[in-house]
Chains A and B, each alone.
Chain A
Amino acid sequence: MADAAGSPSPPEALVLEGISESRTFWQDARRRFFRNRLAVLGLVIVSFLVILAVFADLLAPFPYDFVRFDRVLKLPFVFPENPLGTDEVGRDYLSRLIYGARTSLIVAFSVQGIALLIGMPLGALAGYFGGRVDFVITRIIDIMTAFPSLLFAILIISVLGGGLRTIIVALSLTSWIIIARLTRSQVLTLREQDFTVAARALGAPEWRIMMRHLLPNALTPILVAVSLGIPTAIFAEAGLSFLGLGVNDPIASWGKMVGVSNAYVRVYWHLALFPTLAIALTMLGFSFLGDGIRDALDPKQER
């Protein structure tokens, strides 16, 4: 189920070892997911976006950086080759919208990936070892929570100086917190459970217990958090680009397109309309999908 969305699916072997009834659990989850109409709609939208992002070079009528100075700021359908019009530099707006999907998804997946890489180990360490380790990590989490994440991202970008990579770093710095916190609380509850205690009694090394037993079991809520974190990251990228702190030109970003459109909107409405629609559709798609995954994996939790 998660394959199409590109979310990391847990390695089957680990899951099997962790909980014996996992096969039926995943089967159930899949059934629940596909019975949810909104979730399927979300999956369709997200699949569509992924296809746009991956095959942008084939799908876009023009390269994202191709300019024609005789076609600057043309409204939609003035020229049939530019069905969504052209932008303020003379580039085909449809093509830039398609490439914008790529930017959004690169940022979103990278940010969540890094968040996982930082948040899971830290959270697991804190939860498993407790004591001083837990204290330090929890304090770090506390401090990072106190930062208004957008203001923090703006400050980081002003230090590191903009661009795609900086945005990813700036957003990752705050997005690992929720993962770490989740992992910690999951590991906290799991480490006292029978299979952990048994493994420990059998003399399995600590890191092995953690890798083989605790993390896979903590995976479900983390997967949910990631699937809901993706739209947050897309929103943040769009927001920062909207403020002019985003990716370099000529890379296309929906947020940047909306930000620029503000000065043109009184006459050239198309500059604002299409990228806002794209952002809205993407956010809806990922939210539906995320909610669907949550409901499927965690049936107890009410919406």
Chain B
Amino acid sequence: MKTKTYGWLGRVLALTTAFALLLGFGLAQNTTILGVELPADAVPYDEQVLRVPCDNTRNENTFDFPVGVYTRFDCIEELFQDTLVDLDKDFNVIPASAESWSVAEDGRTWTFKLHEGLVWSDGTPLTAYDYEATFQLTASPEMAWDFAWFYSFIGEGGIENWGEIIAGELPVEELGVRAIDDLTLEVVTKGVFPPLPGVMNFAHVMQKKALEEHGPFYNNDPATSVSSGPYVLVEFDPGNRIVVEANPMYRGYRPPNLKRIEGIYMSPATYFAAFQNGEIDRVPYERLTPADFAIIESDPVLSANYLRHFGDFRTDYLLFDTFNPPFDDLNVRKAFAMAVDRESIVANVFGGEIKAMPAHSMLMPGYPSSDTEGALAGFQRFDCDAARQHLADAGYPGGDGFPAQEMWLRAEAPAMAAVYQASAASIAQCLDIDIQVSNKDNKVYMDALNAKPTQLELGAVSYGMDFLDPANLLGIWVSTGRHSWQNDEFDRIVAEASNLVGNPVLRDQMFRDAERILVDDVGGVFIAHRWQGDLWQPYVLGDTLREPDATGISGKHWSVDELWSDLYIRADQ
């Protein structure tokens, strides 16, 4: 169905063929502006419009990841550019702007070859120099990029000279991301970092020329906006409406079926009502209240069109200050871990399997090196008697003498707060101890958690992946990370496995061993893995959206940008 010819010539050929067909058969063919034929059940091309809700309470100011990760227009994103690589539904790294990549013998120097013939919507060819300029933009101290930590966080030392450049010690030209020629981009990391290609899913691109002429916000005005992605900006009125249309100059790997996407601003609380009125075509899960879910689950059409996905493989867990009493005692931690009735909490408080699955470890089943077999389920299981025994072994029989605790939450909305409150209640009730739950604001919480030594004795929080490799979700648990838990064996294995090249089987096993240590030594108490998802109108179709992945899960997976190419609107309404 998708044409995957990238060559300029091939594209021209396809276009002329389409044109000829159009001439030959009149308007019988339903084809897109790029000449792709729409499926037989699609509405006419002019009506191929997707309407998505935009949050009018969000603080946002850019379309571009390299400008502000936390301030993007989150309803219309990733559409004005293709990243170097993409992920497919099974999370394999697939070519996007780059057609191939390789690593030098030192394991640190990566070379990405761009597809030939990629072009910006103003006709300028897309080159490796655009990527280079974009990386330099994000590293420049004046830019003060909000995501600047990321490229010093991957692997040991991150991208070469990244830290020195953001500290102002070296000029941006020294960055370990360089264009060798128009089609060759070189990325050098300080240490050996095998998952680098997958991370290049974050390698967005902005046009060097536009950056120089109009500055980093050039996409905020249809007049200066320039796109190398499947859509171009045609209307920009944030707070009211943002409209993008298929980019007639697009030469990339994901030509769109849709003619336009309209972002309609509304209060997030009214998304579901607007959806039920047929005003919008999609509601993301985080905008659905528990009451909305109750309505969805009792309606066969709605529940069939609520498509779960892995999202960012987010896990909810409790964390401790294990360097000080009482949580320096493994028995106390084990008592807590075994006192949480995860199954009941997930089934009743969280909202059941549509929203979450009970967690016994950090990595959600489906994530690389995760415990899909349930081999780790025994360590952190609900067993109140065993929990009480552990607490007694720690010197607090029947909870006597155990200091009252205040468990902190990080600015949780009522539905998630309920899950953590239930976890605290489960522990308090089983162990007969006193736990209060205090919902702090994000900044206060993170300040206490990040402090060294930590000021957070007991807290609940969630973490979703930054990139798809156990080095990420297990890496945050090493003793130099944000948690106050130290296990030298764990640190050693994670460090070794992260840099291990050439033996994927061993690497996988090492991460599994590390996770076993994490749950056995109770670095955290793992409560739930979140299912994320979207509610779609039944007439929005598309293989990437509707076809299940290898584990049987359908829906838009994390960072599967390909989705935007094969979505289309069905005609039978």
Contacts and interface: CB of A to CB of B under 8 A. Distances in A.
- Chains A and B bind each other: yes
Interface of A: 65-67, 69-70, 72-73, 88-91, 158, 161-163, 244, 248-251, 259-260, 262-268
Given A263-B414, A263-B415, A163 B438 contact: yes
Given A65-B425, A65-B428, A72-B348, A249 B437 contact: yes
B224 interface: no
Contacts of A248: 406, 436-438
B290 interface: yes
A236 B289 CA distance: 26
Contacts of B406: 248
B441 interface: yes
B374 to A, nearest CB: 22
Given A90-B349, A161-B444, A69 B422 contact: yes
A87 B16 CA distance: 64
B344 A89 contact: no
6 contacts: A69-B426, A72-B348, A250-B436, A263-B289, A266-B289, A266-B291
B444 to A, nearest CB: 6
B348 A70 contact: yes
A88 B349 contact: yes
Contacts of A73: 290
B290 A70 contact: no
A263 B414 CA distance: 7
B429 A66 contact: yes
B105 to A, nearest CB: 54
A161 B417 CA distance: 17
Contacts of B344: 69-70
A163 B444 CA distance: 14
Interface in B280-307: 289-292, 294-295
A162 B409 CA distance: 12
Contacts of B425: 65, 67, 89-91, 250
Interface centre among A65, A67, A162, A267 (most CB of B within 10 A): A67
Contacts of B345: 69
A266 B414 contact: no
B418 interface: yes
Contact of B291 (A158, A249, A251, A264): A264
Given A69-B348, A244-B439, 5 more contacts: A88-B414, A163-B438, A249-B417, A249-B437, A267-B291
A73 B439 CA distance: 21
Contacts, number: 90
Contacts of A251: 436
A67 B429 contact: yes
A179 to B, nearest CB: 31
Nearest to B348: A72
A90 B347 CA distance: 12
B287 to A, nearest CB: 11
B291 A268 contact: yes
Contacts of A162: 438-440
A248 B444 CA distance: 15
Given A67-B429, A162-B439, A250 B290 contact: no
A72 B424 CA distance: 15
Nearest to A263: B289
A262 B417 CA distance: 14
B408 to A, nearest CB: 10
Contacts of B438: 161-163, 248-249
A66 B424 CA distance: 11
A72 B289 CA distance: 15
B121 interface: no
B341 interface: yes
Interface string B56-83: 0000000000000000000000000000
B13 interface: no
B348 A260 contact: no
Interface centre among A249, A262, A265, A266 (most CB of B within 10 A): A249
Contacts of A244: 439
Contacts of B292: 266
Interface in B319-350: 341, 344-345, 347-349
B349 A72 contact: yes
Nearest to A88: B418
B414 A90 contact: no
Given A88-B418, A89-B422, A249 B348 contact: no
B402 to A, nearest CB: 16
Nearest to B346: A69
